[in-house]
Amino acid sequence: MTIQILGGSTSQTVRLFVQDTSKTDGSGLTGLAHNTSGLVAYYAKGATGTATQITLATQTAGGAWTSGGFVAVDGTNMPGVYRLDVPNAALDSEVETIVMLRGAANMAPVLLRVMGGKSQANAVTASTAVVNAIADQVWDEAYSQHTTAGTFGKLMDTLRKANTVLEGTILASPAPTTTVFRLSGIDFPTGALEHSILWMNTGTSENQNSPILTTVNNGDGTVTVTLEEALVTAPVAGDTVLIDPTSHVHAIADIQAGLATDTELAKVPKSGETRRYTQVANNTGNKTADVSIGAPL
């Protein structure tokens, strides 16, 4: 007879069948008790465990577990079926345990095989470890392997390609200021990220942002960033930043300068100013007149 009980389980009860050797029809042997003359029980754990005697104890069919408890379940309706309360010591490991009862008159020896298994806690831990390992393998798999249209792997790869945000880490040297600092993890050519938006991802400056004025590649896998607008607080080494290279913005001063430079503004007449204009004529000769610019209506 083979049953499975998790290793480390306690207060376990099994039912077993004892055959009557004096009968030829396979009938069960009735009348056994924990103190029946000659009746003994032993268990051995694992492939090399030694036989350990179980001290059989009085029990009732519905009584609370007691180590070695032995009693007939129902001698009339279930002749030959007995209850055995397996000692906790027989189940304190995850290996297989063999239990044997023998010795009473007309009793066929009973061999009970208890299959070991991990305890409840260990089983949960092992299951969690397996799940975590599978999840790690999925997330660590190269996205280049997911190219089949219509699959979630391909969708994730497409989303990755659409998201071009860069992440960098602020370095300690030179000391970061509110406008200038050096980044690792972003190795772009000098000037490639100018006018992109940079925002602070972690640290005391988290969520602050500014357009980038200039970037200088230092030739060692780092870039030095100068911001157009100062952060409220200076970042520190270890803070991380995010840069959106698809953005392209300019400070208001840059926009104004581009629309109306000093040179261009000088060409625009001002109220009250007198300007001399020359009219070029083919037949009558050039005519020159001074014009006074009046106030706007």
Same domain for 9 and 104: yes
Burial class (CB in 10 A: 0-12, 13-18, 19+), 201: middle
Does the residue 266 lie in any domain?
Answer: no
CA distance 100 to 56: 12
Residue-number span of the structural domain to which 76 is assigned: 2-115
CA distance 236 to 240: 9
What average pLDDT does range 105-129 have in this prediction? 73
Same domain for 109 and 34: yes
Q: Containing H/E element for 232? A: none
* Cis upstream peptide for 174 (omega within 30°): yes
Same domain for 79 and 176: no
On average, the pLDDT of the chain sits at 85
Q: What confidence score (pLDDT) does residue 275 get?
A: 63
In contact, 69 and 58? CB cutoff 8 Å: yes
Does the residue 190 lie in any domain?
Answer: yes
Is the pLDDT at 297 greater than 50, yes or no? no
What separation in angstroms does the CA of 1 have from each of 7, 25, 59, 281? Answer: 18, 19, 22, 125
How many domains does the chain fold into? Answer: 2
Enter the pTM of the model. 0.43
List Cβ neighbours of 257 (8 Å cut-off, separation of 6 or more).
Answer: none
CATH code, domain with 193: 2.40.10.170
Q: Domain boundary at 115, 139, 155, which?
A: 115
The 10s digit of each residue's pLDDT in 26-43 is: 999 999 999 999 999 999
Does the residue 103 lie in any domain?
Answer: yes
In contact, 147 and 58? CB cutoff 8 Å: no
Does the residue 221 lie in any domain?
Answer: yes
Is the pLDDT at 21 greater than 90, yes or no? yes
Residue 25 identity:
D
Q: Containing H/E element for 28? A: none
Same domain for 171 and 97: no
Confidence of residue 141 (pLDDT cuts 50, 70, 90): confident
Q: Which residues pair with 159 in a beta bridge?
A: none
Does the residue 262 lie in any domain?
Answer: no
Task: Look at residue 48 and give its three-state secondary structure.
Answer: coil
Does the residue 149 lie in any domain?
Answer: no
Task: Look at residue 252 and give its three-state secondary structure.
Answer: helix
Q: Beta strand 110-115 with 166-170: parallel, antiparallel or unpaired?
A: unpaired
Same domain for 170 and 111: no
Q: What single-letter DSSP state applies at residue 89?
A: G
Same domain for 100 and 13: yes
The 10s digit of each residue's pLDDT in 55-90 is: 999 999 999 999 999 999 999 999 999 999 999 999
**Which range is least confidently modeled, 111-120, 152-161, 177-186?**
111-120
Q: What confidence score (pLDDT) does residue 283 get?
A: 59
Same domain for 212 and 108: no
Does the residue 156 lie in any domain?
Answer: no
Same domain for 90 and 15: yes
Does the residue 177 lie in any domain?
Answer: yes
